[in-house]
Chains A and B, each alone.
Chain A
């Protein structure tokens, strides 16, 4: 594989080997796209984006290899082809992201308005959707109840999982050392991150229906409440909070703790006054990421909180809807079947727009927190 320093047949005149000019890959890429378009017109009878993309990719690969192999040698040619493949895999992966965001903005952004945000599905009838599709009325219904549900359930999940998560992380970093319990917890937290979200939902449902069976066997279906959903989300959220917090706490320099101990400060106070404030930015941004993660969960909510059509502020009784379950319900079980299902689909896309915006804002917020609150005197 490695070349010898001297080529016995011809002595190179300079120390640098032959190299194609820097703009070559671009020229070849543009050339192969043009050729692909021509082929598409000739043999497929028109401009077909997927066909052109695949053809252009193949032609580009062959052309780059041939050109480079004949001028720079085989090894350089392989390198160039590998670079092309790796780069195009990245570009290809961006295609679904862009397509998804574009669809969400174009479909959801077009449908969204203040009425949708402030109304529930109370009194919704198929006739209203049919009128909308026929162009006789404005889009009825809305998802105010789903927004309220999302906020309430997520808040409740935070209240449950943040203390457990942060305290566990403190135990792992500050107290466990290398003992067995610490190792077991670390392992199980890892395993917990892999629990399928629907299983977390089933767990919460099974837990509360077992409890409900014991307390009042008569009332079937009482287990489906917003609080059950919050417990399900906590199962998903705790491991994320633990992992993120643990990572940050381990970054706090040992010197700080030792300095504090040397001044006679008790351990718990060292943790509360020194370790936590130092890492607060990381912990908060980790929590925000965890929230962004669970706020979009659908499966655990639908098995634990059902699908509510109307506003419900009570976490402990009755069904609740969240934005994700609202999207699912609207899309798959439209208010009016047939052509008028379009109206339900539009509501679903509008809700998806709100949800995606929410998740993106939370993700940005996490970055912002990490930046703004970070300790200034870091090395």
Chain B
């Protein structure tokens, strides 16, 4: 790295004269002198940037390439696909299961995330706030497989709660018991998986909303307080309206995370057919279907799993792009 590009100290005039760089000799342009080092370096950074574009394109391309077998099978003989009724009736329940579990996770996590973000930004003692924020970040640091292990260990404790739910709220289809009047006796149901998912997406929604809440114009907050608003009224009048779009995009990013989360669901859920009830075993998500079947898969089955992976990729891509578009449209200037 130490090359001979050491320049002579410029004269008192300061501006580097072209002739003070003998090594860059030929280029007689009076203004910018481009050195080989500059060219190489900027080219290297440019290549790295383009590589990222290629990777993303590659993800889509190679998944598509590996799913051609499935597409062919769907065209020629739909009954050869798992389930025997073609690709769409195979992937449909999985998509529904994925969406349901993510939706529940989001419904549970968002209010908590908002509460925590408000707590750390506006209610906790100033000195404690960063430490408390760090505690929530720790939730994000824990690997998902450990969440899965934890979920399995805890699932059994939830059966009493599910029994209670099905007893009192069984008339709602999602809490209905099965035909024998029983709920899953291991507790390893979609609801358990969704609850664990909600804990896993909590930190991402929290940290994003926290950042948005911190951007609320100080003057607006102080003006509200000066007019005699209580702290909660100040939050309702200035902080929440200001952060509305940010909250929306944060929840969408949380949704993206929940859609793609694999291990916790794959470990906790004992999979089965699509059922409306969340407290009996059954249902399956795309990601955990892949995880549970991939190790033994070969041939067409392998291609099927890659194809549903592609479906998952497209869904999360749309959700994330939507979220980013919301952010880009309403981002605060000068942040």
Binding site for B on A (CB under 8 A): 1-3, 50, 75-76, 78-79, 82-83, 85-90, 92-94, 96-97, 99-100, 103-104, 107, 163-165, 167-168, 170-172, 174-176, 181-182, 184-185, 187-200, 202-203, 205-207, 209-210, 220, 235, 238-239, 242, 262-269, 271-272, 292-293, 295-299, 302-303, 306-307, 324, 327-328, 331-332, 348-349, 352, 355-356, 359-360, 363
Residues of A within 8 A of B41 (CB): 267-268, 271-272
Interface centre among A198, A238, A352 (most CB of B within 10 A): A198
Residues of A within 8 A of B120 (CB): 90
| Interface pair B139/A96, CB less than 8 Å apart | yes
Residues of B within 8 A of A355 (CB): 143, 145-146
| Interface pair A198/B52, CB less than 8 Å apart | no
How many angstroms from the CA of A86 to the CA of B123 in the assembled complex? 8
Residues of B within 8 A of A268 (CB): 35, 37-38, 40-42
0 or 1 for each of B37-80: is its CB under 8 Å from A? (1 = yes): 11011101111111111011011001101100000000000000
How many angstroms from the CA of A295 to the CA of B291 in the assembled complex? 18
**In whole Å, how far is B321's beta carbon from the nearest beta carbon of chain A?**
6
| Interface pair A269/B143, CB less than 8 Å apart | no
CB-based nearest B residue for A95: B199
Other A-B pairs beyond A87-B119, A89-B112, A296-B143, 10, CB < 8 Å: A104-B146, A168-B52, A181-B49, A187-B324, A198-B262, A272-B1, A331-B148, A352-B146, A356-B142, A359-B142
| Interface pair B59/A200, CB less than 8 Å apart | yes
How many angstroms from the CA of A197 to the CA of B259 in the assembled complex? 11
Interface residue B20 (Cβ < 8 Å from any Cβ of A): yes
Residues of A within 8 A of B44 (CB): 167
From the candidates A87, A184, A210, A302, name the one contacting B291 in the complex (CB within 8 A). Answer: A302
From B88-96, B178-186, B306-314, the one touching the partner chain is: B306-314
Interface of A is mostly: helix
Residues of A within 8 A of B229 (CB): 2
| Interface pair B149/A331, CB less than 8 Å apart | yes
Binding site for A on B (CB under 8 A): 1, 5, 7, 9-10, 14, 16, 20-21, 33, 35, 37-38, 40-42, 44-53, 55-56, 58-59, 62-63, 65-66, 111-112, 114-116, 118-120, 123-124, 132, 135-139, 141-150, 152-154, 161, 199, 202, 227-233, 235, 253, 256-257, 259-263, 266-267, 287, 290-291, 294-295, 298, 305-306, 309-310, 312-313, 316-317, 319-321, 324
**6 closest pairs, A vs B, by CB?**
A196-B260, A296-B143, A89-B115, A171-B45, A167-B48, A194-B320
Residues of B within 8 A of A262 (CB): 14
Interface of B is mostly: helix
Residues of A within 8 A of B145 (CB): 296, 298, 324, 327-328, 352, 355
Residues of A within 8 A of B46 (CB): 171, 175
From the candidates A79, A167, A191, name the one contacting B56 in the complex (CB within 8 A). Answer: A191
| Interface pair A175/B42, CB less than 8 Å apart | yes
| Interface pair A171/B49, CB less than 8 Å apart | yes
How many angstroms from the CA of A303 to the CA of B119 in the assembled complex? 40
| Interface pair B316/A196, CB less than 8 Å apart | yes
How many angstroms from the CA of A203 to the CA of B124 in the assembled complex? 44
| Interface pair B263/A328, CB less than 8 Å apart | yes
